[in-house]
Amino acid sequence: MSTAHGARARARIEVTAAIKDEARRQLAAQGAARLSLRAVARELGMVSSALYRYFPSRDDLLTALIIDAYDSLGENAEAAHEATASPFERWITVCEAVRGWALDHPHEYALIYGSPVPGYTAPDATVPAAARVGLLLIGIARDAHQGAALDRPAPADDLRPEAERMAADLAPDLPPEVVTALVAAWAQLYGLVGFELFGQFNRVVEDRETFFRHAVGQLARGVGLVPGPR
């Protein structure tokens, strides 16, 4: 790589980061629905045509911010996951990492798990980053199942066809009833975080950290994980 080419590449990385930082500032100030490439360019002292060379549309910029947010959340959860051994405690630790990240990054959490942005449809490019936490939770259940340490939940006969379809798509090596419990727990985890973050727990739950740990422990038990060294 020539020196000039390397300098251009570094400059592009720096400008891209500056654009994203300003966009995140605008998200915090006025929400994703009002994000504007022209406003971002104006705040950075750029002409709009220059910014379009980095992000051709608002949706391209939103997609980049969404992927960054999912990846940041996933990295945080993965780092926490590596710090414990018991499947039950790994589950709790991952869930607490999700909550901690959300409390530290409320506007980015709102971008990925809040109200949909009018006129925007997330492309398939967001899927790998979005799946990182879910894959961690599936992996925890898989490790417990392979170690004969999973108390399988009772199957629901009326859900059997859908349970088998979800299992085939998401985790063919796990019992269908475990996969349905995982999907429900995944949704409930983000519901717990969202209720706290968006104010629904105000004047309802005071010791939110303790409440959260208890609640995600119940989710773990629903999947079939049990406390202890198993």
For the chain, give the percent of residues with pLDDT over 90.
80
pLDDT tens digits for range 26-64: 999 988 989 999 999 999 999 988 999 999 999 999 999
| Residues 73/101, Cβ–Cβ less than 8 Å | yes
Question: Is the same domain home to 47 and 124?
Answer: no
Question: Is the same domain home to 174 and 219?
Answer: yes
Question: Residue 102: its pLDDT value, please?
Answer: 97
Predicted confidence (pLDDT) at residue 230 exceeds the cutoff of 60? no
Question: Residue 6: its pLDDT value, please?
Answer: 76
Q: What CATH number does residue 147 fall under?
A: 1.10.357.10
Report d(CA 202, CA 208) in Å as an integer.
10
Question: Is the same domain home to 45 and 152?
Answer: no
228 domain-assigned: no
Stretch 177-205: mean pLDDT, rounded? 96
Domain boundary pick from 34, 56, 78? 56
229 domain-assigned: no
For the chain, give the percent of residues with pLDDT over 70.
97
Question: Residue 9: its pLDDT value, please?
Answer: 82
Question: Is the same domain home to 129 and 20?
Answer: no
Question: Residue 10: its pLDDT value, please?
Answer: 86
Question: Is the same domain home to 68 and 52?
Answer: no
Report d(CA 133, CA 69) in Å as an integer.
12
Report d(CA 125, CA 222) in Å as an integer.
32
The pLDDT-based confidence of 8 (bands split at 50, 70, 90) is confident
230 domain-assigned: no
Predicted confidence (pLDDT) at residue 1 exceeds the cutoff of 70? no
Predicted confidence (pLDDT) at residue 3 exceeds the cutoff of 70? no
Predicted confidence (pLDDT) at residue 228 exceeds the cutoff of 80? no
165 domain-assigned: yes
Domain boundary pick from 40, 56, 72? 56
Question: Residue 83: its pLDDT value, please?
Answer: 67
Task: Pick the closest to residue 186 from 209, 166, 165 (CA basis).
Answer: 166
Stretch 119-123: mean pLDDT, rounded? 93
The pLDDT-based confidence of 129 (bands split at 50, 70, 90) is very high
Question: Is the same domain home to 44 and 63?
Answer: no
Question: Is the same domain home to 153 and 190?
Answer: yes
Please count the structural domains in the chain. Answer: 2
Q: What CATH number does residue 3 fall under?
A: 1.10.10
In Å, how far from its chain's centre is CA 39?
Answer: 27
Predicted confidence (pLDDT) at residue 156 exceeds the cutoff of 70? yes
Stretch 182-208: mean pLDDT, rounded? 96
pLDDT tens digits for range 158-167: 999 999 999 9
Question: Residue 148: its pLDDT value, please?
Answer: 83
Question: Is the same domain home to 105 and 216?
Answer: yes
Contacts of 51 (CB under 8 A, 6+ apart): 19, 37, 40, 41, 44
Question: Is the same domain home to 11 and 123?
Answer: no
- Exposure string (b/e) for 171-193, b if CB count within 10 Å is 16 or more? beebbbbbbbbbbebbeebbebb
More confident residue, 225 or 82: 225
Stretch 196-211: mean pLDDT, rounded? 96
Question: Residue 110: its pLDDT value, please?
Answer: 95
Domain boundary pick from 56, 85, 103? 56
HSE (side-chain half, CA atoms, 13 Å) at 39: 16
Name the residue type at position 195: F
Question: Is the same domain home to 50 and 98?
Answer: no
Question: Is the same domain home to 39 and 136?
Answer: no
The pLDDT-based confidence of 229 (bands split at 50, 70, 90) is low
Question: Is the same domain home to 15 and 71?
Answer: no
* Domain extent at residue 160: 57-223
